[in-house]
Every structure is written in C-alpha cells, then in structure tokens.
Amino acid sequence: SFLYAGCGYGGSCFPKDVQALERTARANGQELLILRAVEAVNDRQKHVLGGKIVSRFGEDLAGRHFAIWGLAFKPNTDDMREASSRVLIAELLARGASVAVHDPVAMPEARRALALDFAADPAAAARIRFCDSPTGALEEADALVIVTEWKAFRSPDFGQLKTLLKTPVIFDGRNLFEPDAMVAAGVEYHGIGRSVLTRAG
C-alpha cells in the first residue's frame, strides 16, 4: 500500500529501518547501494511539492499564502516525525510565504513539532496559522497543497473550495484526485509523477 507516487515517507519506522539495514550491511563488509538510493529518492520527493509551487508562482513567494491539508507523516496518526509537511512548510516560509495548516488529528503534535523547527526564527513561525477545519485553511489562499492522504480530504466540495481560494489551484502530494475530473471542476491541478499538468479553462 506504500508503493505509489507521493511526496515522501516519514515516521519512525521506515527511515530508521532503512538506516539500520544500511549500517548492518556496512558492518558486514557490504555496500547496499539500493538503500542509499531509497534514502536519496525519498529526501528528493519531500521537495517535489515545493518545486512545483515555485514553478507555478516563482522563486519569491513573499505575500503568497498557501493552505496545507495534512501534517502527520501518514493518515490515522498524529506522528510528525520525518513528516513531509515539515520540509514543505520550511521551504515555503524560507521563500517568504505564509501558510494555513490543518490536520484532522495531528494539530497538537504539529504545534509542538513546528515550534521546535522554528524556535530560532520567530518571524517565520508567526506566518503559520493553525486552523480547526480544512475550509478554514482555504480562505484567501493562493493554492491548496495536500500532503497527507486523509480520507476526509478525498471528497471536498469543489464549489466551496473555488469560492474560498484566491485561485483554484491544487498541488496534490498524494494523487487523491484524477486530473480530468479536476479540469471538469474548473481546478488547475498539479499531481505527483503525472506527465500532464492540467489547467482549467
């Protein structure tokens, strides 16, 4: 169930297990290049959404505002360890953007994790708004970015979404939606590992 295109894995198990296997191999005189590749590709995938956003909106994101749905490293947990959302938020804030974030379960843990991430940069931390609902995060956002594939995010009201967003743009880090359906709904859609970038209109 983990073998699908996305914006990277996290948590405590996968990263730790891959590193442990690599250390065990080295201790026995073996070099398992595939494990290095797994880590390298996963690290790269965590930057894919940020790259897509920069390609769409430009290098300087000052004054831009992004809604982020999903903070935990996977659905049905509040675990923020190695979560892709933390990498994305750091990239967006470093480029001057502000973010409004929502997760159905992980909000308390996300507050703690992000407070640690930005302890040395209170000005950046001030550009994170924690929202109690998915729609609350959408208000006046330049785009919606989906990072965790929570079931609650799979069937949004696209009419309401288009009303709340400044521009109807979705960056889907988990490929929850079909591009053709997004075009039909009047949404500009950016998925992961999909060759066609669809734009409404």
Cβ-based burial of 78 (10 A; exposed 0-12, middle 13-18, buried ≥19): middle
**Mean of the pLDDT values across residues 47-73?**
95
Tell me which of 42-56, 65-79, 86-100 is least confident.
Answer: 42-56
Would you list the domain boundaries of the chain? 47-190
User: From the candidates 4, 12, 13, 76, which is the catalytic residue?
Assistant: 13
pLDDT per position as a tens digit, 116-132: 999 999 999 999 999 99
* Position 42 pLDDT exceeds 70: no
CB 85 within 8 A of CB 147: yes
Q: Looking at the DSSP assignment, which residues form a beta bridge with residue 189?
A: 170, 198
Kindly state the DSSP code that residue 198 receives in the 8-state scheme. Answer: B
Q: Residue 7 catalytic?
A: no
pLDDT at 15: 58
What's the CATH code, domain 47-190?
A: 3.40.50.720
